[in-house]
Amino acid sequence: MICLRFAICRGIVCAPLRTAAAAGVIVAAVFASVIIAAATAGGAVAASFPERDITFIIPNQVGGGFDAYVRAIAPAMEKHFGNKINVVPLNVPAGGGAKGVSQLYRARPDGYTLGILNIPGLFILQERGGGYDLNKFTWLAGLGKDPYALGVPWNSPIKSVADLQALSKTRPVKFTTTGPDGTAYGVTLIATELLGIRLQLITGYKGSSEYVAAAVRGDGDAVITNLPILARFEASQSLRIIATFTRDGMRKDVPDAAALGQPQLADIMVERMVAGPPNLPADVKKTLVEIIDKAVNDPAVVSMSEKSGLGLSLQSPDEVTADIRNQGSFFTKWKKYLVPN
């Protein structure tokens, strides 16, 4: 409590204040000092970030595409922090990713917990009562967006989408995929609806690597997942890609969305966004955005991405926000497939 009866201390004796105006000046000075001290302390905390290891949550199984992206950039992030900070990937796949997303959303907003998030998967989890508001995450970067494609086992007699359509007239075509909590489940329903393929879903696999491998060993007739994953299996002659859901005809040997007569297939994308919890301080966000930028553009990461076909491609926080709006429109249109009753 500040005594307004005294103003200037000399030794242990304080001279009494002569006027209320003088008291006001002293009080204002005291409060100004407190505010300046608090601001200085806050700046010091931001300037020293980070001071300990950072957890990078992956709401997916080890070995999938999201896991690969984080493990590709984490060492480069450590390098560019330059102060012996570890960036520790943490896989939290329970609940179709819901547990990991919730853990990120409720983390302390201090920059020491990040996560890689699946769009449009987040819309699905949110619609099912995920307990978070998509618009409140602190968006830091996009690491890439991948179109989907359709593949069949390498030695399958099926050579085209027309073959699948013909087969579906005799029996349902078996597609391996995740369970209803996974994005691939809804995407497979949407794509086969547009292409006129009667299907049977073979589910229960925990991640993209598992359900694609299941198609390879013959659990299903075909599989739909993101193009880079199918391309890796094709490179080992395990699967053949028979269609891509792209607009640009990136593969001249197979039809794209336009050639299939369904250009809206190209709207089906999987996007990998990096976020922090809500209310991340601006200075901490700025540091993280800069470090992720440096990591993605690190020569070693660029080389690895090109050789592995990972397809890392940096997006700014503003670009991520715009993409989320666009994906929101897509989700609304196809909600009945992405969030089945």
Per-residue pLDDT reduced to its tens digit, 308-318: 878 889 999 99
150 has a pLDDT exceeding 90: yes
pLDDT of residue 16: 44
- The sign of the dihedral angle between the CA atoms of 252, 257, 259, 263 is negative
Q: Name the class of domain 54-145+271-336.
A: alpha beta
pLDDT of residue 2: 40
pLDDT of residue 25: 41
Mean pLDDT score, 200-212: 89
Mean pLDDT score, 153-176: 98
Q: At what angle do helices 65-81 and 282-296 cross, to 10 degrees?
A: 110
122 has a pLDDT exceeding 90: no
Domain spans in the chain, listed from the N-terminal domain onward: 54-145+271-336, 147-267
Q: What's the CATH number of domain 147-267, 3.40.190.10, 3.30.70.3420, 3.40.50.10860, 3.20.20.70?
A: 3.40.190.10
Percent of the chain scored above 70 by pLDDT?
85
Highest mean pLDDT among 7-11, 54-58, 320-324: 54-58
pLDDT of residue 135: 86
Q: Which of 58, 163, 184, 44 is nearest to 116 (CA)?
A: 58
Pull the structure tokens for residue 235: 């490179």
Pull the structure tokens for residue 176: 């391996």
Distance CA 215, CA 221 (A): 7
Residues 27 and 21: beta-carbon distance below 8 Å: no
Mean pLDDT score, 7-34: 42
Q: What is the mean pLDDT of the chain?
A: 84
Distance CA 93, CA 60 (A): 4
Pull the structure tokens for residue 316: 């700014």
Mean pLDDT score, 247-253: 83
